[in-house]
Structure 1
Amino acid sequence: MKALSAGAVISAAMLYRFQHDIEQNTNQIRGKLHNTQIKLDSSLPGNLRDQTLPASIPSKSTNTRPQLPLPSIAQTEHYIHQRFIPTFKSTWNEHIISIAQKLTNFDFDGAVKSGYGNAKSFAEDKLVKKK
């Protein structure tokens, strides 16, 4: 259980880090685009310039772009307890039951007799005929 909790915490931390990196990269791209737009606009003649273009980089508004939802620790723990562990246990139990049934239904005497017969015929064919 500790390993699952640690995995959930590490996953949440990685998701947070990736979201932070994406936001930083997006802000850098937004700034570069704005600077390029300003340079392009300033290269135009005065009568063709966009007068509504702001001089500074537009502020990052959280309402204008969608945010990636980050699952909370409680949601992750709920998922692990309610969905992942029962599914894993169910699959594990099905495989164990299947193996147990195969072992129970295995004809050990027949396999030994067949193996003995195969070994005997191999020995007779390969070893006896060579002499």
Structure 2
Amino acid sequence: MSKFIAVLSGFIASGALLYHFQNEIEDNTSQIRLRLHNTRNQLEDSLPSNLKDSSVTDQNHLIHPSKRSNARPQLPIPSLTQTQNYINHRFIPTFKSTWNEHVTNLANKLTSFDVSESVKNAKSFVEDKWNNKK
């Protein structure tokens, strides 16, 4: 029964942590998007009138990001997709090839290991140490 309680409490604790971090990430993302929106508006307002694009005057961008009907991000975060691509296309293959190389080297060392020679070397080493103590 104690294992069940430990597993259950672990699930509850991990669920609470996941919920907390998910909300924290969503809040941080919305704050970042709000700052980007405000900075974009400031930059657009600072442009001279002859350089402003007609699409900039579109009223859709003037809506505050948090007042939109769907405040959740519409596009994936670029850094997250870049990280996912790095892991899938570079980290995993590199890790896999390094792992395979180390396993192959270990297997070669184990198959070429001479037990009788190692025992003789260990025996002579112990005898030399024993004779030097006397």
Which category of TM-score, normalised to the shorter sequence, fits these structures? Answer: 0.3 to 0.5
Q: Computing the radius of gyration over CA atoms, which structure comes out larger, 1 or 2?
A: 1
Q: Which has the higher contact order (CA 8 A, sep 6+)?
A: 1
TM-score computed with the length of structure 2 as normaliser: 0.44
TM-score computed with the length of structure 1 as normaliser: 0.45
